[in-house]
């Protein structure tokens, strides 16, 4: 097979949670550009619907659904609708996430529980339920979104969000565990660990600490609209068929 053929996604179907904005939107755009049909879902459907409409410019099928990834019944309903509409699920990108910044000694329990529920439990539930469908199919690619914050510990002047960093570190282990369990079913499970990108979640942070982040990074910059695309295509495509249980940091070297 020609090497470029390995990266094509024509006829594939991908579900991207939280894909209406931020890094999820960047990944969704990359997959659509490679020919993949796209399903976007979020607790609030408006941004997903707008992004899905724009992705159809790439001559792919794209649709948005409302889904709270912390509720099993909503994930199951999503899968039922996607199978009815698209016929299969080739790729799952577990991108939905949230944050709550506070010093450890001041972190409220409600903040900790919110972050763990979305970032870890939501990722687990979505992988569990969609993974069951992939087991029935005998194939699938799962890409969990961790973070450079889950690979290293930063001083509080850079990042003071213990729930976020802990949840993203747990996603790394979840990824490896699922890869070990599901490899025999033809399912590859890997993770991306993005660094700092300008998104709605990080904009205020970068305005305050962006210079510090760039100084700490070997490449001396933050991510842009194209920085995550290549890594996402690699893990979603046939190019990564012999790769599983791995974490690819796309962070300019920040996690070193």
How many Å apart are CA 248 and CA 252, to the nearest integer? Answer: 12
Among the options 58, 65, 164, 196, which is catalytic? 164
- End-to-end Cα separation, the chain, in angstroms: 35
Residues 6+ apart with CB under 8 A from 97: 18, 118, 119, 145, 201
Active site residue 164: yes
Which of 27-36 are b and which e, b meaning 16 or more Cβ less than 10 Å from the residue's Cβ?
A: bbbbbbebeb
- Which helix (H) or strand (E) segment holds residue 192: the answer is strand 187-194
Residues 6+ apart with CB under 8 A from 51: 19, 20, 21, 25, 28, 40, 62, 64
Which residue numbers are catalytic?
164
């Amino acid at each position: 097979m020609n090497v470029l053929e390995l990266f094509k996604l024509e006829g594939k179907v991908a579900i991207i949670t939280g894909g209406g904005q931020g890094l999820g939107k960047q990944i969704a755009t990359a997959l659509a550009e490679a020919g993949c049909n796209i399903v976007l879902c979020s607790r609030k459907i408006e941004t997903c619907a707008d992004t899905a409409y724009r992705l159809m410019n790439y001559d792919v099928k794209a649709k948005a659904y409302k889904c709270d990834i912390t509720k099993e019944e909503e994930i199951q309903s999503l899968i039922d609708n996607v199978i009815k509409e698209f016929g299969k699920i080739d790729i799952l990108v577990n991108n939905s996430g949230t944050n709550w910044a506070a010093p450890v000694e001041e972190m409220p329990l409600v903040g900790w529980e919110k972050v763990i529920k979305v970032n870890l439990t939501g990722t687990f539930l979505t992988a569990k339920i969609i993974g069951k469908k992939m087991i029935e199919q005998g194939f699938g690619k799962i890409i969990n979104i961790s973070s450079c914050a889950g690979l290293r510990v930063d001083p509080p002047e850079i990042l003071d969000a213990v729930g976020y960093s802990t949840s993203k570190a747990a996603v790394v282990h979840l990824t490896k565990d699922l890869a070990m369990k599901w490899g025999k079913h033809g399912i590859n499970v890997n993770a991306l660990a993005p660094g700092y990108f300008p998104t709605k979640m990080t904009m205020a942070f970068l305005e305050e600490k962006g210079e510090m982040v760039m100084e700490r990074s070997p490449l001396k910059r933050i991510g842009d609209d194209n920085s995550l695309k290549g890594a996402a295509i690699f893990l979603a495509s046939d190019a990564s068929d012999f790769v599983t249980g791995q974490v690819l940091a796309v962070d300019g070297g920040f996690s070193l």
